[in-house]
Chain A
Amino acid sequence: MAAQILASALFREGRSVQSFPAFGMERRGAPVAAFVRFDDRPIRLRSQIYAPDHIIVLDHHLLHTAAVLTGLKPKGWVIVNCNHQDKRLGVPEDFRLAVVDASGIAAMNRLGSTSIPIVNTAILGAFARATGLVGIDSVVAAIGESVPVKAQENVHAARQAYDFTETL
């Protein structure tokens, strides 16, 4: 959902976009991945993504349990949902790090439950803030047309995350 919304936001800014899930099965509770490509010219590349420019991590525990940074290009942004930034969360200095408490923000906005908040709209505010690759207004507009319920709350979460993102 976050990849789809990000693609729609970039599309609003005149980019050519492609977004796709990790091809295959998904299981509740297991790590999942999704990808976005964007360009100023039509995208013809239809193979999978092995060396991303930036990575969004929805759950900071994955930094230690899954090889989420594999292939990330040097100087790439790692945007992490976490309520602290101790020891750069173990993210190597080769990469730029942005941290936001998307879970806290989502819970405050009553997105999902307090134990399992739905963070995929909030985190896009952090992506917009850290990378500057997409405007927050485009993100907000894309959220508005994409989420089935609680549009206001999702928009608010993205704007709050945009304001509270810290870059290291």
Chain B
Amino acid sequence: MKTRAATGRRKPVRGVARGEVKVITGNYAVAYAAKLSRVQVVSAYPITPQTSIVEKLSEMCGSGELAAEFIKVESEHSAMSCLVGASLAGVRAFTATSSHGLAYMHEVLHWAAGQRLPIVLVNVNRALGPGWNIWTDQTDSLSQRDTGWAQLYCESNQEALDTVIQAFRIAETVRVPVMVVLDAFSLSHTSEGVEIPPQAAVDRYLPPYRPDVKVDTASPRFFGGLVMPEHYMEHRWLLEESSRRILDVAAAADRDFGRAFGRSYGVVDRYRAEGAELLLMATGTVASTAREVIDAWRKSGRKVGLVRPRLFRPFPAEELRTACRGARKLAVIDRNNSFGSGGIFATETRAALYALPSRSQPEVFGYVAGLGGRDITPDVIDGILTAAWKGRAEPRGTWVGLKP
């Protein structure tokens, strides 16, 4: 079951809730999703290209359309700290940020995950300075890899809306915070048709958050205390165990969402991947443009397909091994870079595929492209496929389109 960008012409399906389709930006889709999720506390600090998410939410809070506390703060560090407090007090908490804002939150991201708080954060991918750059680049969110937050990457405005709602379900099921990630401008500021599901259907999918433990003056507890070496590992193991569960929980949340709303995406999305000799891996909006290129290659008889991991943490290693079965080559496009190591999706994927017997491991080609918002056009993707189709992989990966 799969539906892409809404066109306004929809066939009714039994049991599937349908809503009004509006032409809105990715940022507004996120704001509507937070509202539909009945968030109770929003705390945020503005930063381009995220700002219009929290602007819209503050409007909704101001007009009474959304019954939430909007807490203005002086920094992203404080925004996340407010949400830690709110979530400990047992309410549904949300924020959005980008780039330097996310980097500034870093310390508190660890805290939110370690305290097992089901906060949802939307990060609009933006490059880190210097040089100052407000355009899309995944290095900001991927730098938060080891904080204990789950991460889900989106390809369309509809998927952004749907994923925020799914994120609360996942977060509250495993008590792990979830980051939903979308590309600057190509989603955040791009308008397209988005179906806004009816509130009653979202309420059925996402019942009110009722934690078993919370701050309660009638029953005092101690939160955030010192944990000695004799218990720290077990404390961390519980988070690790829950993180591993996220793969199944996210898949189930997506399946249930599909049944309720008629749209599902998978933890690893595949497009024409069956029998492909060369697979392309891409995330976010690059995957969307890549579908056009895959179709053109298939039309000319070359067996290529697309693999799109939606979930980055936990990394869906087993799902990727299954998805890559039978392919001779895998070309990974990374709109991010870990200095001295290469594209992060490529690095993680190589590690995942190493568990396969060597004869069934596809040759992995790493391509770093589109950093700081440089456009990834169909021609760029075609060039990447051509290079991988004909050539041999560079062990350290290739930077695409570098100017001399």
Q: In the complex, what distance in Å separates the CA atom of A117 from the CA atom of B185?
A: 28
A46 touches B289 (CB 8 A): yes
Would A48 and B375 be within 8 Å (CB), given that A14-B7, A23-B185 are in contact? yes
Q: In the complex, what distance in Å separates the CA atom of A27 from the CA atom of B184?
A: 19
Which of A4-12, A53-61, A94-102, A103-111 is the contact stretch? A4-12
Q: Which of B4, B189, B192, B375 has the most CB of A within 10 A?
A: B192
A18 touches B190 (CB 8 A): yes
A4 touches B135 (CB 8 A): no
B23 CB-CB contact with A under 8 Å: yes
Residue of A nearest to B286 (CB): A46
Q: In the complex, what distance in Å separates the CA atom of A41 from the CA atom of B189?
A: 21
A164 CB-CB contact with B under 8 Å: no
Q: In the complex, what distance in Å separates the CA atom of A44 from the CA atom of B191?
A: 13
Tell me how many residue pairs across A and B have CB atoms closer than 8 Å: 77
A23 touches B135 (CB 8 A): yes
B190 touches A25 (CB 8 A): no
Expressed in whole angstroms, the minimum distance between the Cβ of A127 and any Cβ of chain B is 17
B289 touches A19 (CB 8 A): no
Expressed in whole angstroms, the minimum distance between the Cβ of A124 and any Cβ of chain B is 15
A73 CB-CB contact with B under 8 Å: no
Please name all residues of chain B whose beta carbon is closer than 8 Å to the beta carbon of A115 when the two chains form the complex: none
Would A17 and B192 be within 8 Å (CB), given that A44-B289, A45-B289, A47-B377 are in contact? yes
Q: Which of A4, A14, A45 contacts B23 (CB 8 A)?
A: A4
Would you give 25 A-B contacts (Cβ < 8 Å), ordered by A?
A: A7-B191, A7-B192, A8-B23, A15-B7, A16-B8, A16-B192, A16-B193, A17-B23, A17-B191, A18-B192, A19-B190, A19-B191, A23-B135, A23-B186, A23-B189, A43-B192, A44-B5, A44-B288, A45-B288, A45-B292, A46-B285, A46-B286, A47-B375, A47-B376, A47-B377
Would A16 and B7 be within 8 Å (CB), given that A7-B23, A45-B378 are in contact? yes
Please name all residues of chain A whose beta carbon is closer than 8 Å to the beta carbon of B135 when the two chains form the complex: 23-24
Please name all residues of chain A whose beta carbon is closer than 8 Å to the beta carbon of B190 when the two chains form the complex: 18-20, 46
B378 touches A47 (CB 8 A): yes
B100 CB-CB contact with A under 8 Å: no
Please name all residues of chain B whose beta carbon is closer than 8 Å to the beta carbon of A48 when the two chains form the complex: 375, 377
A29 CB-CB contact with B under 8 Å: no
- The 10 A-B residue pairs with the shortest CB-CB distance, nearest first, are A20-B190, A23-B185, A46-B285, A47-B377, A42-B4, A42-B5, A16-B7, A19-B191, A44-B291, A46-B288
Please name all residues of chain B whose beta carbon is closer than 8 Å to the beta carbon of A46 when the two chains form the complex: 186, 190, 285-286, 288-289
A25 touches B23 (CB 8 A): no
Q: A21-B185, A25-B134 are in contact. List 20 more A-B contacts (CB 8 A).
A: A7-B23, A7-B191, A11-B21, A11-B193, A14-B8, A16-B193, A17-B23, A18-B192, A19-B190, A19-B191, A23-B186, A23-B189, A23-B373, A44-B4, A45-B292, A45-B378, A46-B288, A46-B289, A47-B289, A48-B377
Please name all residues of chain A whose beta carbon is closer than 8 Å to the beta carbon of B193 when the two chains form the complex: 11, 16-17
B191 touches A4 (CB 8 A): yes
Please name all residues of chain B whose beta carbon is closer than 8 Å to the beta carbon of A44 when the two chains form the complex: 4-5, 288-289, 291-292
B231 CB-CB contact with A under 8 Å: no
Q: Which of A15, A17, A46, A50 has the most CB of B within 10 A?
A: A46
Q: In the complex, what distance in Å separates the CA atom of A41 from the CA atom of B292?
A: 12
Expressed in whole angstroms, the minimum distance between the Cβ of A84 and any Cβ of chain B is 34
Q: In the complex, what distance in Å separates the CA atom of A45 from the CA atom of B296?
A: 13
Q: Mark B70-96, 1 if CB is under 8 A from A, else 0.
A: 000000000000000000000000000
B191 touches A18 (CB 8 A): yes
Q: In the complex, what distance in Å separates the CA atom of A96 from the CA atom of B9?
A: 33
Please name all residues of chain B whose beta carbon is closer than 8 Å to the beta carbon of A16 when the two chains form the complex: 5, 7-8, 192-193
Q: In the complex, what distance in Å separates the CA atom of A8 from the CA atom of B23?
A: 6
Q: In the complex, what distance in Å separates the CA atom of A102 from the CA atom of B4?
A: 37
Residue of B nearest to A4 (CB): B191
Q: Mark B357-384, 1 if CB is under 8 A from A, else 0.
A: 0000000000000000101111000000
A20 touches B7 (CB 8 A): no
Q: In the complex, what distance in Å separates the CA atom of A6 from the CA atom of B285?
A: 23
A24 touches B134 (CB 8 A): yes
B4 touches A21 (CB 8 A): no
Tell me the A36-81 residues at the B interface (CB within 8 Å). 41-48, 50
Residue of B nearest to A36 (CB): B191
Q: In the complex, what distance in Å separates the CA atom of A73 from the CA atom of B269?
A: 35
Please name all residues of chain A whose beta carbon is closer than 8 Å to the beta carbon of B23 when the two chains form the complex: 4, 7-8, 11, 17, 19
Please name all residues of chain A whose beta carbon is closer than 8 Å to the beta carbon of B186 when the two chains form the complex: 20, 23, 46
Residue of A nearest to B294 (CB): A44
Tell me the B306-353 residues at the A interface (CB within 8 Å). none
Q: In the complex, what distance in Å separates the CA atom of A17 from the CA atom of B191?
A: 8
